[in-house]
């Protein structure tokens, strides 16, 4: 094999492991995963839940604009959870409840901490009263 070809193969094998190529985050274990919303039955509220692989602050930034700053902040709790599998993996479940939401208003939010944020998501706050019907999507 020629030295040029050998060097090229070595470079190609190392390329996928380069942090610049993968876009690795500074704190990958605290980037939010498994993000979901839940309604606790109290009008004007919505709870955001997510997991991380390392302890971190639990914060949600939210607002009404899709781009630009998210002016509102809410903080919550995190608790350790050890799964029952053979590996006994430890992860952290974060919960933050957003309050004083306007019924029927659309919000944009992201969750996490200064060590790692989720991308932005949207939701519509539930309406008051009985003259509306929810639309649900369930994924398995």
pLDDT in tens, 49-86: 999 999 999 999 999 998 999 999 999 999 999 999 99
Residue 3 pLDDT: 55
Q: How many domains does the chain contain in total?
A: 1
Q: Measured at the alpha carbon of residue 78, what is the angle toward residues 74 and 83, in degrees to the nearest 5?
A: 145
For residue 19, being part of any structural domain is answered with no
Neighbours of 48 (CB within 10 A): 26
Could you tell me the CATH number of the domain that includes residue 73?
2.60.40.380
Q: pTM for the whole thing?
A: 0.75
- Tokens representing residue 4 in the block: 């040029």
For residue 69, being part of any structural domain is answered with yes
For residue 14, being part of any structural domain is answered with no
Can you say how many angstroms the Cα of residue 50 is from the centroid of all Cα atoms in its chain? 6
Residue 1 pLDDT: 55
For residue 16, being part of any structural domain is answered with no
Residue 2 pLDDT: 54
For residue 100, being part of any structural domain is answered with yes
Please identify every stretch of the chain with a pLDDT value under 50, giving residue numbers as ranges.
4-24
Structural domain containing residue 114:
25-124
For residue 75, being part of any structural domain is answered with yes
For residue 17, being part of any structural domain is answered with no
- Tokens representing residue 129 in the block: 């009263």
For residue 131, being part of any structural domain is answered with no
């Amino acid at each position: 094999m020629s030295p040029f070809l050998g060097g090229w193969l070595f470079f190609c094998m190392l390329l996928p492991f380069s942090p610049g190529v993968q876009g690795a985050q500074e704190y990958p274990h605290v980037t939010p995963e498994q993000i979901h919303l839940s309604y606790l039955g109290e009008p004007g509220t919505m709870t955001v839940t997510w997991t991380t692989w390392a302890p971190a602050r639990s914060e949600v930034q939210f607002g009404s604009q899709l781009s630009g700053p998210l002016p509102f902040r809410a903080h919550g709790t995190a608790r350790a959870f050890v799964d029952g599998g053979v590996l006994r993996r430890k992860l952290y479940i974060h919960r933050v409840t957003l309050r004083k939401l306007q019924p029927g208003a659309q919000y944009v939010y992201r969750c996490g901490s200064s060590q790692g944020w989720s991308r932005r998501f949207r939701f519509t706050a539930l309406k008051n009263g009985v003259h509306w019907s929810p639309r649900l999507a369930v994924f398995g």
